[in-house]
Amino acid sequence: MATVNPVAQKPAGPAGTVRDGLLIAERNLLNLRRTPGALVAALVQPLMFVLLLAYVFGGSLGGAEYRSFLMGGIFAQAVTFNASFTAIGLAADMDKGMVDRFRALPMPRGSVILGRTLSDLTMSAVTLTVTSLCGLLIGWRVEGSVLGAVAAYGLILLFAFAMSWVGATIGLVARSVEVAQSAGLVWLFPVTFVSGAFVSVATMPGPLRTIAEWNPVSATATAARSLFGNEAPPTMVPPDSWPLEHATGYALLCTAAIIAVFMPLAVGRYRRVARG
């Protein structure tokens, strides 16, 4: 009887990439047991911002109404910050020689990065769950429909997936954990704070206002608030720019554009790294 080469039976193309990517994602999630600090950091950081912004600054920005308004921005910020874990995770794999081991396996090159982004998407889902519970404790409620809430969480997770490809590109360029930690965080603060995540963009000076209006974080936060049914406090000037008046559509467009740009960049960089 003729023997069958098991490697030759592995599905190629998108099916093989997704299947192997899921296996890599499972491996990454299992590794969290050895590095529980990463999971704790992913959960504590958004909770810290919730409490800080809700109770330290919230009193002067609208009280209870501001706390409801705040949560859409916290959700967008939390999943954006999780891109740093993607960068650090890939850089750590290169430091430990895991890239060389993966290169020796009969799997599509894109599976390694897809697995990392999928495992970090799972972490983002956990982050959103814990942050939502914290939001409920401070008085946040879903004022819209159940379908709207599901759409809001779906939009946020889709944005999280897109941002993880940005983190993957940074991690592969950095190639060391130390550089990835710095490069993976330095861009996150201006991207999330020069936005409409926590305040009305109408209060910002000219150039910053334009940047904030077109910032994908602003669109994601605004779209989430709309879908959750959370209105802005009366003291906040409503947005009058096209991106924020059409926040859901613009957020989806930005998410697709980020994936379209950074997915091939990350895969191409990984192939160059794997070739040495």
42 has a pLDDT exceeding 50:
yes
Question: Do 71 and 140 form a contact (C-beta atoms < 8 A)?
Answer: yes
In a domain, 104, yes or no: yes
In a domain, 10, yes or no: no
In a domain, 69, yes or no: yes
In a domain, 102, yes or no: yes
Residue 23 token pair: 């296996």
In a domain, 3, yes or no: no
Distance (Å) of CA 264 to CA 113, 118, 217: 11, 16, 22
In a domain, 9, yes or no: no
Give me the pLDDT at residue 183, please: 81
**Confidence tier at 152 by pLDDT (50, 70, 90):** very high
267 has a pLDDT exceeding 50:
yes
- The total number of structural domains in the chain stands at 1
Domain with 135 in it:
36-274
**Choice among 13-22, 27-36, 48-57, 180-189 with the minimum mean pLDDT:** 27-36
Model confidence pLDDT, tens digit, residues 181-231:
888 788 998 999 999 999 889 889 989 999 999 999 999 999 999 999 998
In a domain, 5, yes or no: no
In a domain, 25, yes or no: no
Quick one: 48 exposed, middle or buried, by C-beta within 10 A (0-12, 13-18, 19+)?
Answer: exposed
